[in-house]
Structure 1
Amino acid sequence: MDGEKNDDLEMKKIQSEDISKKEGEDEKSHGPKFGKRHGQMLIYFLLILIAYSIRVNLSVGIVAMTDPTASLNPNIPTYNWTDKSIVLSAFFWGYILPQIAAGWLANRYGPKWFLVGAMGVCSLAGLFLPTMAAQFGSRGVMAARALQGLSQGFIFPSIHNLLAKWVPPGERSRLGTFVYAAGPFGTVVSMLLTGLIASSWYGWPMVFYSFSGAGLAWCFLFSYYGCDGPSHHPTITKEEQFYIENSLGHAEHKPRMSTPWKKIFTSLPVWAIFLTQSGHNWGFWTLLTEIPAYMGHVMNFNIKSNSVLSALPYFVLWVMSFVFSYIADLFVNHNIFSIGVSRKVFNTIGLIVPAIALVFLGSTGEDEHNKAIALLVVAVGINSAIFCGFNVNHMDISPNHAGPLMGVTNGASNVCGIIAPLVVQLLVTDEKDPEQWKVIFYLTASIYAAASLIFVVFGSGEIQPWNDEEKNGKEKSEA
C-alpha cells in the first residue's frame, strides 16, 4: 500500500513538473497573457485618445464659439466667423509637415521623448487657444491649431515605430486595433464632453483647458512608464522579451539600419497604402469635421443632441473595431487567410460598405432623421474594418521601417484633411440645403470605392526585400 502511495505521489510530481514545463514553454512561444507589452499598449491607447480628443474638439466647439445661445453663461465670448471650414482645416497645415522626419527620427533615436515633447507642445497650444481667439480672432485659432497639428505630426509615425517593436505578428490586428481604435473613442469622448461643457456655465473655453490638462498629465505618465522597446524595459521577463523579438524575427536592439528611401518611393505596396490612406482620410475627415454642421443645419438638432448624435457613429466604430480585429487575427492565426488576403478583405469591408451607406444618405430627406442617423452610423462604424486593413499594413511589408513608412503615407495622405473641408466650403454654400450635401456624400462614396480597388489590386502582405536590404546585401557579398 505504501509503495503504491509513493508511486502515485511520484507520478503526480512528474505530471506537475510536466505541466510547469509546458506552461514555461507556452509562455516562451506565446508570451504571458498579460505582459509588459499590454501595459505599453494601454499607455499608447491613452495617448491616441487624448490626441484625437484635442484634434476633433473644435468640430463641435466651433459651433458654440459662433453661437451666442450655446452657453448658459452670457459672458462667454462668441464670434461671427465666415471662414469656419478653413479654421477646421488649419490643424492639417502643421500636421503634414513633420511626418517623414518624425518617422526617421523615431527610427534612429527612439520615439519616447519625441512623443513627450509633441504632446506637451500640443497641450500648451490648446491652453492658449481661447486667448488667441480673443486677441486675433479666427486667424489666432488657426495659428494655435496649426501648432497643434505640427506637434501631433510626430505621434503616429512614433507609435507605428513602437508597435513594430512591441507587437508580435500574431497579435498585430488586435493590439494595433486596440491602440488606433482610441482615435474614434477619443472622438466620442471629445464630442460628448465638448457639447456638455460648451453648453454649461463654463462655456467653450473650458473644453480646451480640460483636454490640454489631460495631455500634460499623459506626458508625466509616459515619461515614467514609457519604453522605446522590450530591451529598454527594466522589469520585462526574459520569456516575454524572447517571445516578442523571436516572433518579429530579430532582436529589438539590433544595429540601426539606413532607410532605403528610393526603394520605398518606388514600391507598389507602399503606393497602394498611400493612395488607400488618402482616400480613407478624405472620407473620414469630411465626415468628422462636417457631421456636426450637417446635423445642426439640415437635421436641426441643438448643440447637446448634436454632440451626442455626432458621437454615436464613432462609438459604434470603436466597438466594431474590436470585433473586426478579433476575427482578422483568428483568420490569420488559423491559416484561413494569409496576412495579405486578410488585409484586403477587411479593408474592402471598411471602405465599400460605408460608400454604399453614403450613397443612400445622399438620397435621404431632411425629415428622415432616424434613417440619416442609421446611415451615418453604418458609414462611420463599419469603417473600423480598415484598422485591420491598410492601417497596420506598414508593419506587414516592412517591420524594420514601419515608422518612416507611416510618416510618408500619413503625412502625404493627410493633405486630404486640408482639402476635404475646403471642398465642402466650396460646394456647400447653403448649409441648410440637403441637395448640396448630397454632392458631398456621393463624392466621398466614389473616393472610398476607388481607394478600396487600389488596395485590392496593388496591396501586399509580404515583407518586402528592402526591409532587410543591408542584411541581404551582406549575405550576397559573402556568398
Structure 2
Amino acid sequence: MERYGSDTERDDTPLLQKAEEERVQRAPACGSSRYGLALLSSFGFFVVYSLRVNLSVAMVDMLNNTQSDTNHSSSVCPAHANPPRPKHNHTASVYNWDSETQGWILGSFFYGYILTQILGGYLAGRWGPKWLMGLGILGTIFFTLLTPVAADLGAKYLIAVRVLEGIGEGVTFPAMYTMWAAWAPPLERSRLLTISYIGAQLGTVVSLPLSGQICFYLDWTYVFYVFGAVGLVWFVLWTFLAFDSPNTHPRISEQERLYITNSLKNELSTSAGYIPWRAILTSGPLWAIVVAHFSYNWTFYTLLTLLPTYMKEVLGFSIKQNGMLSALPYIGCVVLAVLSGQLADHLRETCLVRTVTVRKVFSIVGMLGPAVFLVAAGYTGCDYTLAVTFLTLSSALGGVSASGFNINHLDIAPSYAGILLGITNTFATIPGMVSPVIARTLTQQNTIEEWQTVFYIAAGINLFGATVYTLFGRGDVQPWAVHTSYNHGD
C-alpha cells in the first residue's frame, strides 16, 4: 500500500503553487474514476448508517406498550390526529425493556465500533483499504440480519449482536480516509470527501422514514432484512468497481491517472513502512481535531439515537409520522454538506483563502449553529412546527463541519490520514456509547424539562469543542507527516 505525505503548506501561501498547478493537467470530473469512487463510497456509507440507525425507529415498535393500542397516547404533547389509514401491523414480538435497558441497547453498537478505529487505520495502510472496508461492512450486514433472532433471545443477545456490528463498521471510515489519501487531488479534497460522506446522512434520511413505513405496514423485523439486502447489493458493486489506488485501477484513463498521481507526487512519504506514533500522539493539531470530533458527535449521536423517541414520547408523533419527521434534520445536513464542500474548495483554490481559515470558519458554523438551535428546540413546548424546524436547522448546520475539522486529517498528515481518523474517531465514538445512556437516565419521565437538560449538555459540549479547535487547529502539513527534518511555520 502506498503511503502519502504532503508538501508543506504554509498558512500564508496557497496549497499548491501556481507553477506546480500548470504542470498538472486537470482531468475532467464527469465520468471520472475518482468521482465514481466518491459515489460508490457514498453508497457504502449510506448502507453503514442505514444499518446503524434503523434500530432507533424499530425500537419504538419493539416495546410493549400496554396502555393503549396507539403509539402516542402517553406523550407529553397532545396526540396528533391521523387520517384514515390501514391498520398498524403488530404481528412481531414486543419486549418489556425499561428506559435504562433501551439506552444500553441503543449505545451498545459503539462499544464494538470503538475497538477497531485505530486498528482499521493501521490495517488499511498495511494491506489496502478496499477489502478492509468491504469485509467490515459485510460483517455488519450479517449481524444485522440476525437482529430479530437476537432480540427474541433477550436484551443481552441483542446487545452482543450490536457490539459485533460496531466492530465491523469501525474500520470503514479509517479505511476510506486511507483510500482518499491515494485518490483525492489536494484541491478537490473537500468536494470528493463531502460527496463520499454525505452517504451517511442520506442513509439516515432514507432509513428513518422508510423504517417507520416498514414497521407500520409489515413489522419491525423487516427493517433489518430490507436494509441488510441493500447492503449485499453494495458489497457486490464494491467488489468489482473499487480499487485501492489509481495505479491499480484497470479502467481509469491515463489522463486522470497522471493528474492524480502528479498532484500527489510531492506528497509521497519518504518511509513507506514508517509510522511516527510518538509524533502523532503528541501533535497539538491532532488533539484539536479530537476535541472537536468528540464534541460534535455528542450532539450528533444524541439526536441520531434518541430523536425518534423524542418525537414519540414528547411531541406525540405516531410510528408512521415519526420516521418521516426524524429524517428532516438530516435532509438539511446533506444539502449543506454538499454546498459547503463546493464552497470550501472554491475559497481555497480561487480566492486563495488559507486552509486553516476555511477549516476553522466552517467548524465554528457547523458546531455553534447546531448548539443554538438545539437549545432553542427545548423551549418550543408543544409547538410541533417550531420544534421540528429548530431540530432541522440544528442538524443541517452541522453539515457545514463536513468541510471543517472533519477532513482536517488530510490537511495535516495525508500520509497517515487513516490512522489519524482512527484516533479521532475512537474518542468521537465515546459519545455514542454514553450519550444515549445518560440521556435516557435523565429523561425517565420524558418531561420537556428533562429533555431541555439533555439539549443543554449537548450544546455546552459543542461550544467547548468549537473553542478548542479555533484556538489550536492547523491547516498545514505537520513536519512529522513527511518524515523530514526541516521546520516550517503554522
TM-score, scaled to structure 1: 0.90
Letter in 2 for 1:443: I
Find the counterpart in structure 1 of residue 11 from structure 2: none
**Cα-to-partner distance string for 1:255-298 (whole Å, 9 max, x where unaligned):** 62311110011000000000100001111001111111111111
CA distance in 1, matches of 2:22, 2:328: 41
Q: Deviations along 1:165-214, whole A, 9 cap, x unmatched? A: 111111111111111111111001110110000111x2011110111111
Partner residue, 2:141:
123
1:108–1:256 contact (8 Å) kept in structure 2: no
2:189 aligns with 172
Tell me, what secondary structure is at the counterpart of 1:300?
coil
CA distance in 2, matches of 1:263, 1:26: 34
Alignment-mate amino acid for residue 36 of structure 1: S
Q: 2:481 aligns with which of 451, 467, 471?
A: 467
Residue equivalent to 1:147: 164
Structure 1, residues 137-179: CA drift from partner, whole Å, max 9, x if none?
Answer: 2212111111100000010000111111111111111111111
Q: Distance in 2 between matches of 1:313 and 1:67?
A: 28
**Higher helix fraction (1 or 2):** 1
Counterpart Cα distance in 2 of 1:39 and 1:242: 17
Q: Which residue of 1 aligns with 2:58?
A: 61
In our comparison, the structure showing a higher alpha carbon Rg is 1
Displacement over 2 Å in runs of 4+: 25-28, 67-75, 248-257
Q: What SS class does the counterpart of residue 115 from structure 2 fall into?
A: coil
Stretches of structure 2 that go unaligned for 5 or more consecutive residues are: 1-20, 72-86
Whole-angstrom CA distance in 1 between matches of 2:345 and 2:437? 38
Indicate the residue corresponding to 1:205 in structure 2: 221
Alignment partner for residue 79 of structure 1, among 95, 105, 130? 95
Deviation at residue 409 of structure 1 after TM alignment: 0.7
2:126 to 108, 114, 117: 108
* Paired residues of 1:119 and 1:216 also in contact (CA < 8 A): no
Q: What displacement does 1:326 show? A: 1.3
Change in Cα spacing, 1:251 to 1:173, as seen in structure 2 (3 Å) is: closer
One of 143, 152, 155 as aligned partner of 1:138: 155
After superposition, the C-alpha distances for 1:34-60 in whole angstroms (9 at most, x for unaligned) are: 211111111101100000000010111
> 1:436 is matched with which residue?
450
Q: Deviations over 1:396-420 (max 9, x none)?
A: 0011000111111112221111111
2:26 counterpart residue number: 30
- TM-score (normalizing by structure 2): 0.88
Cα offsets for 1:240-263 (capped at 9, x unmatched):
112112222347798623111100
Structure-2 residue corresponding to 1:10: none
Q: How far is the alpha carbon of 1:28 from its aligned partner?
A: 5.0
Relative to structure 1, is the Cα distance of residues 28 and 237 closer, same or farther in structure 2, using a 3 angstrom cutoff?
farther
| 2:125 aligned partner, one-letter code | N
Residues 227-266 of structure 1 mapped to structure 2, 5 A cutoff: 227-250=243-266, 256-266=272-282
Kindly indicate whether the alpha-carbon contact (under 8 Å) linking 1:199 and 1:304 is maintained by their aligned counterparts in 2: yes
How far off is 1:227 after superposition?
0.3
Q: Which consecutive unaligned segments of at least 5 residues does structure 1 have?
A: 1-24
Q: Which amino acid aligns with 1:256?
A: A
Residue type of the partner of 2:397?
A: I
Q: Distance in 2 between matches of 1:303 and 1:399?
A: 44
Distance change in 2, residues 1:159/1:127 (3 Å): same
Counterparts of 2:181 and 2:220, CA distance in 1: 38
Letter of the 2:224 counterpart: F
Aligned with 2:389 (options 374, 379, 402): 374
Query: Residue 146 of structure 2 aligns to a residue in which SS?
Result: helix
RMSD: 1.9
Corresponding position of 1:402: 417
Partner residue in 2 for 1:448: 462
C-alpha separation in 1, matches of 2:270 and 2:482: 12
